[in-house]
Amino acid sequence: MVQKNTKRFGDFIRERRIDKGIGQRELARKLGISPSYLNDIEKNNRVAPKPDTVTAITEILEIDIELAFDLAGRSRNSLPADVMAIIEGNSEIIPLLRTVAAYELTTAQVKELKDKIMANETKVIVIAAGMGNRMQPLTEDRPKCMLEFGGMTLLQRQLDTYAACGLSNFTVVRGYQKEKIAYDGITYYDNLDFENNNILNSLFYAESEINGHVIVAYSDILFEAHIVERLLQSEADISIVVDIDWRGYYVDRKDHPIEEAENVILSANNNVVEIGKILTNKNDVHGEFIGMMKLSPRGAEIFKKHFHRSKALFAGKPFQRAPMFEKAYLTDLFQEMTDLGTPIHSVIIERGWKEIDTVEDYEKALKAFDE
């Protein structure tokens, strides 16, 4: 809500333009307005421009369109233009607004309703194409997401946890031993080239599902429902889950040393500064990426745009920390986006998950279930 942000429209646009490394004249040219007019807007000497210009600004600067319209509405001392357009274009919304007013719904009640609708409309994509070489010999005849824990496979436990959060639209990207993953009620996409690529490219076999609200996750993590609930509450376009109490997981973890953690260095506002298998300084604010992210409808488009841009530039070539683009992780694309000024927000957690990447991890998880 706009009340949570004290920035003015002009300040917000100017800061974001500078963060993106775009000059004032360049932005004015792209918007089809004069530099002097843009300068007046950025100095808050003029009210926000018309809705189509605000929309163009959000697209060029990759900013949240709802926040931009909220700030633009404040500058004009009126309701945000996108809200007015929604009301004028959908008469059925009026009874809903009157109901909210008549029953004096609190902010918490409205948020609860919004969260339920969001969960109902959110898709889940699980990336399960890899061979799980570190799990040999346990994965000789099955993908590692089909290993059992307490009478249920890892994938079943994931789906049950998502379902407990109101999610029911599931997609799985298969590859190795794909015929072993065959649950009803799931949409499947098959990566037949799984031996020659990695997680990032596997995800894009399901590109047609990357639209609207989407959660994307690795298939080798066990997690509690509160983590998914926290992620669903994020209003950022691109959000990743980061555990800041992660080091304890690596105590006595011999087959997956701490140096291989997908670390994240965070800014003061919990945006990604650096991510991947990186060394961190004791003074850095950092955590571990657990292998789960959420995209808003706008975030999905931004994410896809950056993937295709990177593929066009780096196919067959080194890409970030990957020896070549085809072998890239999600974290490699996150770093590329961060380097180009696209904000990636971190949803902070403290424990509540486990990675099942080695036989040692599996045996420890089984022991925990037995206890």
Q: Which pLDDT tens digit goes with each residue over 102-156?
A: 888 898 888 778 777 777 789 999 999 999 888 999 999 999 999 998 889 999 9
Distance CA 370, CA 149 (A): 9
The per-residue pLDDT for 2 is: 35
pLDDT of residue 3: 39
pLDDT above 60 (res 1) = no
State the pLDDT confidence band at 64, using cuts at 50, 70 and 90: confident
**Domains in the chain, CATH or no CATH each:** 2-94 (1.10.260.40), 116-370 (3.90.550.10)
Q: Which of 59-68, 157-166, 255-264 has the lowest mean pLDDT?
A: 255-264
pLDDT value, residue 12: 93
**What is the pLDDT at residue 71?**
92
Name the pLDDT band for 250 (thresholds 50, 70, 90).
confident
The position carrying tokens 């959110």 is 122
320 phi, psi to nearest 5 deg: 50, -120
74-77, Cβ contacts within 8 angstroms, sequence gap of 24 or more: 74/2, 74/8, 74/9, 75/8, 75/9, 75/10, 75/44, 75/47, 75/48, 76/47, 76/48
pLDDT for 371 beyond 70: no
Q: Cα separation of 154 and 179, whole Å?
A: 16
Residue 251's CB: how many other CB atoms inside 10 A?
7
Q: Which residues fall within 8 angstroms of residue 228, CB to CB, at 6 or more apart?
A: 161, 162, 165, 167, 215, 292
pTM confidence score? 0.80
Residue 260: pLDDT over 90: no
Position with higher pLDDT, 175 vs 112: 175
Specify the pLDDT at position 252: 67
